[in-house]
């Protein structure tokens, strides 16, 4: 069970994978020079034509030998700006595993024919359902160390749908690192949408250890947990279980004027034997 306890300010963080031992995406999304800007948001309707997805780059697909294959569906919510760029990409229906990172990578590489209102390009809210076929491959980094990386086995199959109407105006996310904000005032808190239970370690079960483990994490602009670490533990096995569970949590991110922003929170992972 997750309970948000506190929010703190830390230095701004790069959006990197939370788990250094898990496979990382190996394809960089193209730079767009997108800046933060306040825009009116349009939703599907009689006068609004939804954005049209352009063919994805073939460079996303790789034929490397897989250590492990990944298949599944992920739904994302996003805005397509008036230039056809994806902005404010968040989870609608995540998987809680590496497929979520692949979905974000695919969305950020996507380009669109923008939505229009009476023929004029506008910022449009959409939902994309992705059927993903990924691959965990073994590679070496520049020093020659073995590492695991995530790649696409096939190009994602993507379907666009109308997003439910929400805010009339939002601030679009800029490129690059964003300041970590404090929840309060105009900064609305994140909301957990996927919280897998933490398992018990064999040692803790035998010793009937119960209690609460306090974990600190950054929730990034997409709703992914980053930099997860224990600040008050129970025993090493349970601490590892708490970290593993929290790394698979997914959130609707904190927002400032409708723009997703990173925040740092403390979370309580409760261990009870019943």
Helix (H) or strand (E) holding 88: strand 86-93
The pLDDT of residue 25 is 55
pTM here is: 0.83
The pLDDT of residue 148 is 85
Nearest-angstrom CA–CA distance, 99 and 133: 8
Nearest-angstrom CA–CA distance, 14 and 250: 18
In the chain, what percentage of residues exceed pLDDT 70?
Answer: 88
Which CATH code of 3.30.230.70, 3.30.2420.10, 3.40.50.2300, 1.10.579.10 fits the domain covering 2-12+178-271?
Answer: 3.30.2420.10
CB proximity list for 130: less than 8 A, separation 6 or greater: 73, 74, 75, 76, 103, 106, 107, 156, 157, 158, 159
8 A C-beta contact, residue 195 and residue 91? no
Domain boundaries, the chain: 2-12+178-271, 32-172
The residue to which tokens 């997003």 are assigned: 163
Query: Residue 70's Cα: distance from chain center in Å?
Result: 17
Residue 138's alpha-carbon distances to 64, 149, 150, in angstroms, are: 9, 6, 9
The pLDDT of residue 72 is 96
SS3 call for 99: helix
Reported as a single tens digit per residue, the pLDDT across 22-64 is 565 544 444 456 788 899 999 988 889 999 999 987 777 777 7
Q: Is the dihedral of CA 247, 26, 262, 104 positive or negative?
A: negative
Nearest-angstrom CA–CA distance, 214 and 229: 9
Reported as a single tens digit per residue, the pLDDT across 179-237 is 888 888 999 999 999 999 999 999 999 999 999 999 999 999 999 999 999 999 999 99
b/e map 178-198, b = 16+ CB within 10 Å: bebbebeeebbbbeebebeeb
């Amino acid at each position: 069970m997750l309970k948000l306890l506190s929010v703190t300010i830390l230095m701004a963080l790069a959006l990197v994978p939370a788990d250094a031992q898990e496979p990382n995406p190996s394809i960089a999304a193209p730079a767009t020079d997108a800046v933060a800007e306040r825009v009116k948001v349009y939703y599907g309707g009689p006068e609004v034509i939804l954005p049209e997805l352009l063919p994805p780059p073939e460079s996303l697909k790789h034929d490397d030998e897989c250590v492990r294959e990944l298949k599944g569906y992920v739904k994302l919510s996003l805005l397509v700006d008036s230039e056809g760029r994806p902005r404010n990409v968040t989870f609608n229906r995540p998987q809680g595993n590496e497929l979520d990172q692949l979905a974000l990578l695919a969305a950020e590489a996507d380009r669109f024919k923008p939505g229009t209102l009476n023929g004029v390009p506008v910022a449009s809210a959409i939902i994309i359902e992705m059927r993903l076929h990924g691959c965990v491959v073994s590679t070496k980094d520049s020093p020659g160390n073995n590492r695991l990386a995530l790649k696409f086995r096939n190009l994602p199959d993507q379907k666009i749908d109308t997003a439910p109407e929400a805010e009339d105006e939002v601030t679009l996310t800029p490129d690059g690192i964003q300041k970590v904000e404090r929840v309060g005032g105009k900064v609305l808190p994140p909301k957990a949408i996927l919280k897998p239970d933490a398992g018990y370690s064999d040692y803790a079960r035998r010793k009937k250890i119960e209690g609460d483990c306090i974990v600190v994490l950054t929730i990034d602009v997409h709703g992914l947990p980053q930099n997860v670490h224990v600040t008050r533990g129970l025993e090493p096995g349970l601490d590892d279980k708490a970290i593993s569970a929290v790394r698979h949590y997914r959130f609707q991110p904190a927002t400032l004027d409708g723009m997703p922003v990173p925040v740092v929170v403390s979370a309580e992972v409760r261990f009870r034997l019943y």
